[in-house]
Amino acid sequence: MNHALRWLSLGLIVFVAGAPARAADEPRASASAGAEPKSAPPSTMNDTSESEGTDSGVAKPEVTGPEATVPDAPDLGPQVSSKVELTPEERAEKEDRKACKIEICDIIATREPLGPDIACDIKKTWRAGDLTKMLGDQIGWPWGNAVCQSALKLERAALADAMRAPKATIRMEKQTVSCALQREGGEPYVVEVELSPDVTFENGKAVSATVNWGDVSAPLMIYPILYAGTGLDNQSNVLGPEVVKMVNYFTTKSCAEVKGELPGRRVN
């Protein structure tokens, strides 16, 4: 059950499942080369020798201004924000996906089985940094951004039933995901994978899932990685829990973002 925006990323994650781990070193803030440490004002120096006018033999600091109270404040680095600034291309992709998102979320909200099935052309750019985070510390993402496209097909009645029934499984028909994997200094790798996902729901919440990978098409250089990764997932269902999390996120938080725009249509 998915607005396959999320499932498109799974087609990428598994691509490196059979590849060696590539730990990426995070940049650390460092002092500027050649910079000399600042000397504290004489009045703020702790000296082991006796100083005039003290009881302990250590000069007491004199408060002469802000610099005396906050000496040599550490460099905290540049200001950062959790807000993601989309590129013009990403904004256009998001807007193109919105109608499909509203259609799916409306079925989830109304649980109406009658009406046309979902059929959407989906395009999504996954940033290299986001893919690295999704993969965690075990597997490195060896490429740049990934631009993926898929023709999403989802049966309306099956989705509506999964939202109503105590327990139900959605089995999607075979779908093809095509991704261009950007790489530095060369043309993107273009890969295609087939998948037939299924997700089991209990009381409207996803509880288990499998991706069910099919044929793989890719340049010879990376084909073994993709073939091994998809085969591994078909055997061990490594990505099942990730699918469950993505589906539940979509049915709750993602749909809440467009709640005010749902038509709320019901067929009587």
Question: What is the residue type of 255?
Answer: C
* pLDDT for res 199: 96
* pLDDT for res 226: 84
Classify the C-alpha dihedral 11-17-19-20 as positive or negative: positive
Stretch 53-81: mean pLDDT, rounded? 59
Is the predicted pLDDT of residue 238 greater than 70, yes or no? yes
* pLDDT for res 126: 87
Is the predicted pLDDT of residue 94 greater than 60, yes or no? yes
Dig out the tokens for 64 from the structure. Answer: 């002469």
Percentage of the chain lying above the pLDDT 70 cut: 68
* pLDDT for res 24: 25
Kind of pairing between the strands at 198-202 and 167-171: antiparallel
Kind of pairing between the strands at 213-217 and 205-210: unpaired
29 versus 209: the higher-pLDDT residue is 209
Stretch 207-223: mean pLDDT, rounded? 93
Stretch 202-227: mean pLDDT, rounded? 92
Cα distances (Å, whole numbers) of residue 152 to 149, 177, 197, 233: 9, 9, 11, 21
Report DSSP letters for 127-159, one per residue: PHHHHHHHHTTTS---SS-EEEEEEEEE-HHHH
119 CA to centre of own chain: 24
36 versus 19: the higher-pLDDT residue is 36
Tell me the pTM.
0.66
Tokens 């496209």, located at residue:
149
Stretch 39-46: mean pLDDT, rounded? 41
Rounded to an integer, what distance in angstroms lies between the CA atom of residue 9 and that of residue 4?
A: 9
67 versus 134: the higher-pLDDT residue is 134
Rounded to an integer, what distance in angstroms lies between the CA atom of residue 215 and that of residue 141?
A: 22
**pLDDT (tens digit per residue) in 155-193:** 999 999 999 999 999 999 899 999 999 988 889 999 999
Residue 130 binned pLDDT confidence (cut-offs 50, 70, 90): confident
Stretch 198-206: mean pLDDT, rounded? 96
**At residue 248, what are phi and psi to the nearest 5 degrees?**
-65, -35
* pLDDT for res 164: 94
Is 213 within 8 Å of 197 (Cβ atoms)? no
The closest alpha carbon to 159, from 113, 227, 226, belongs to 113
| Highest mean pLDDT of the ranges 25-29, 53-57, 115-119, 137-141 | 115-119
Residue 78 binned pLDDT confidence (cut-offs 50, 70, 90): confident
132 versus 171: the higher-pLDDT residue is 171
Stretch 238-242: mean pLDDT, rounded? 87
Dig out the tokens for 30 from the structure. Answer: 């460092």
| Highest mean pLDDT of the ranges 21-25, 57-61, 84-88, 96-100 | 96-100
162 versus 86: the higher-pLDDT residue is 162
47 versus 147: the higher-pLDDT residue is 147
Name the average pLDDT for the chain: 75
